[in-house]
């Protein structure tokens, strides 16, 4: 099992530590990046806090989409929409809003059956928040209207972002590509009055799915739970989807087999004192 570490100086590590606590609660979800624990070390005289994550051999969804140039078949895109919804459903059940869903924060793992499909896992929870908290967060191209203009950063924002990613999978372009993407102020103005561009030539089910994600009223926008029952991702004629695919992949298996949280000192380099580590944990 390969690991990667996200690291930060201890005095600046509160958001990274918070990300670890969220991931710890989501350890059993196969659509969330697995965090194996935490470590502290001294690097070049700096006390570091390290979050231990599983290595994603497929890289990011963004890099993979660029390699495919947008030619992702609808059946395959619906499978990935299903995985994103399953992951974000567990996040929302915790009362957490991811706030920064975008292709660069979605990690890819090869399927166990050698079918050339991917298992997607949501990563990077540093900008996540408890539902009800304020503050503008996230990338503009995947930000919902109510987040951008009303300061509402709740679960419907994540659904909007998933709609943007699904549309981008099938076209290779942002649904805001028709706007001036090089000027954030102009783009924000366009987002106030225009709808994201839904791809042409897609099925009625795919079109309706995106419309449900792009409902401007967040109180009407469909939830992850409702979207998981939408024909686009729950179509029993699609052999890639839902329970049959999950059974085939045996997604319940965990790295290291136990899913236990590792907390250690000095795994990477010179250890620091437990007193220093404990003080930082309390302040985090």
Q: What are phi and psi of 122, to 5 degrees?
A: -80, 135
How many Å apart are CA 201 and CA 207, to the nearest integer?
Answer: 9
> Whose CA is closest to 142, among 61, 203, 206, 50?
61
Cβ-contact 120, 83 below 8 angstroms? yes
For residue 58, the Cα-to-chain-centroid distance in whole angstroms is 15
Which DSSP letter does residue 10 get?
G
Catalytic option among 39, 100, 124, 158: 100
Sign of CA dihedral 71, 74, 76, 81: positive
Catalytic annotation present for 100: yes
CA distance 284 to 278: 10
Question: What 3-state class would DSSP assign to 174?
Answer: coil
Residue with tokens 């024909």: 231
The residue among 109, 133, 139 whose CA lies nearest residue 121 is: 109
* Phi and psi at residue 100, to the nearest 5°: -140, 40
Q: Any idea what the Cα angle at residue 201 is, between residues 196 and 202, rounded to 5°? A: 75
What residues are labeled active site?
100
């Amino acid at each position: 099992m390969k690991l990667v570490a996200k690291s930060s100086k201890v005095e600046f590590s509160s958001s990274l530590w918070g990300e670890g606590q969220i991931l710890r609660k989501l350890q059993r979800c196969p659509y969330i990046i697995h965090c194996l624990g935490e470590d502290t070390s001294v690097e070049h005289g700096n006390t570091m806090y390290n979050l231990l994550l599983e290595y994603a051999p497929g890289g990011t969804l963004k890099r993979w989409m660029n390699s495919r140039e947008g030619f992702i078949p609808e059946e395959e895109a619906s499978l990935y929409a299903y995985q994103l919804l399953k992951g974000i459903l567990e996040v929302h059940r915790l009362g957490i809003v991811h706030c920064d869903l975008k292709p660069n924060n979605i990690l890819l793992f090869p399927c166990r059956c050698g079918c050339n499909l991917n298992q997607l896992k949501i990563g990077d929870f540093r900008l996540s928040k408890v539902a009800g908290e304020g503050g503008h967060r996230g990338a503009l191209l995947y930000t919902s209207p109510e987040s951008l203009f009303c300061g509402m950063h709740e679960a419907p924002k994540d659904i909007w972002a998933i709609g943007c990613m699904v549309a981008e999978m099938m076209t290779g372009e942002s649904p805001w590509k028709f706007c001036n993407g090089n000027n954030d102020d102009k783009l924000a103005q366009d987002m106030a009055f225009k709808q994201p561009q839904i791809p042409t030539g897609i099925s009625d089910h795919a079109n309706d799915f995106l419309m449900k994600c792009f409902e401007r009223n967040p109180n009407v926008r469909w939830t992850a739970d409702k979207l998981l029952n939408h024909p686009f991702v729950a179509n029993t004629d699609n052999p890639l989807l839902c329970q049959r695919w999950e059974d085939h992949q045996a997604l319940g298996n965990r790295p290291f087999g136990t899913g236990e949280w590792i907390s250690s000192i000095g795994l990477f380099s010179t250890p620091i004192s437990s007193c220093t580590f404990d003080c930082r944990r309390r302040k985090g």
